[in-house]
Amino acid sequence: MAVITNVDEYLHAAPLSGSEPEEVGPFTLFRSTTIWPYYARPRAGVTVEPTDVEAVRARCAELGLPLNFEWVVEACPSLGPAAAAAGLTVIEHPLLVMDRADFKPVTVDARVEILPADAALVRESRAVQHLAFSDAGTAVGASGPAERDAAAAELSDSLIAGVADRISRGVTVSAGAFTDDGMVATGQHQPVGTASEIVGVATLPSMRRRGLAAAVTSALTQHAFDNGVELLLLSAESDAVAAVYERVGFRRIGFAGAAE
């Protein structure tokens, strides 16, 4: 249970780099100070009732914020049923961690590197993520470099500046995999003290099934461990995606819950 507690503590601290916390009943509502919204999380050791979820709903309505919850299922098993009873859609994703001794580096026939806070690279990375998350899963899809470039041109300058600022401050560490067609896979990790979470790992749909996501995850893992991280975690969209991370050395410890 200690690792669940440590993961939960990290996930409660991570949003503070881009938000102001407000206590609402048993929840901390993270009010965003960046260009993207955050969510509410239950504090450690609480039991949540549907009325607590409704209190957060009312506060979010007052503030004009979207209603979202994220939590570690094993740390707060009451939230899922309470959120469902309050009419929210509840999903659970595999939650994984890695011990340094279990790390299995992955290499592929592509250049994989940690990225600087360069606006053009940030734009390309976000476009890869947009296409990948719009066509979720691990199956090969149609979108490729041409679609990436078109999507990149549509991204707002404020979004790119916000992400680049986080990279320049070390709040976010970004990696990219490159072929002759440019960036084809990307991902980030977000260190807080000696813990970090790998997030946003994405491959252009047309480039899937080539080990690129595993290679990006491997590069981020190496960077994290080389820079003092002791607890490395992530959540996966599905069992199939979790299997990609297990190739690198991650192991499942439970589930990450989300409701909206």
Domain hosting 231: range is 100-251
190: left (phi over 0), alpha (psi -120 to 50) or beta: beta
Q: Determine, yes or no, domain membership for 95.
A: no
* pTM for the whole structure: 0.95
Q: What percent of the chain is predicted at pLDDT more than 90?
A: 97
- One domain for residues 135 and 230: yes
User: Could you tell me if 55 and 34 lie in one domain?
Assistant: yes
Domain boundary among 88, 116, 141: 88
Confidence grade of residue 35 (pLDDT, cut at 50, 70, 90): confident
Domain end (from 61, 88, 115): 88
Domain co-membership, 122 together with 247: yes
Reply yes or no on whether the pLDDT at 221 is more than 90. yes
SS (H, E, C) 184-225: EEEEEEEEECCEEEEEEEEECHHHCCCCHHHHHHHHHHHHHH
Decide: 224 and 193 in contact? Cβ < 8 Å: no
- Same-domain status, 77 and 105: no
Cα–Cα distance between 104 and 97 in angstroms, integer? 13
Q: pLDDT of 191-205, one tens digit each?
A: 999 999 999 999 999
Residue 161 burial by CB count (10 A; 0-12/13-18/19+): exposed, middle or buried?
middle
Look at residue 259 and tell me if it is in a domain: no
| 24 and 125 housed in the same domain | no
pLDDT at position 104? 97
Rounded to 10 degrees, the C-alpha dihedral 247/90/143/171 comes to -70
52 and 74 belong to one structural domain? yes
Strand 19-24 versus strand 182-192 pairing type: unpaired
State how far the alpha carbon of 205 is from the alpha carbons of 120, 175, 222, in Å: 21, 18, 25
pLDDT above 90 for 214 = yes
Please state the length of the chain: 260
Residue the block writes with tokens 């249970």: 1
Q: Could you tell me the CATH number of the domain that includes residue 186? A: 3.40.630.30
- Tell me how many domains the chain contains: 2
Q: Are 159 and 18 in contact (CB under 8 A)?
A: no
Mean pLDDT of the chain: 97
Domain co-membership, 243 together with 169: yes
Q: Are residues 168 and 127 in the same domain?
A: yes
Strand 27-32 and strand 19-24: pairing? antiparallel
Cβ–Cβ < 8 Å for 184, 208: no
What percent of the chain has pLDDT above 70? Answer: 100
Predicted confidence at residue 36, as pLDDT, reads 86
pLDDT tens track for 140-191: 999 999 999 999 999 999 999 999 999 999 999 999 999 999 999 999 999 9
Closest CA to 76 of 97, 45, 39, 40: 45
Instruction: Tell me, yes or no, whether 120 and 206 share the same domain.
Output: yes
Residue range 40-93, pLDDT digits in tens = 999 999 999 999 999 999 999 999 999 999 999 999 999 999 999 999 999 999
In a domain, 168, yes or no: yes
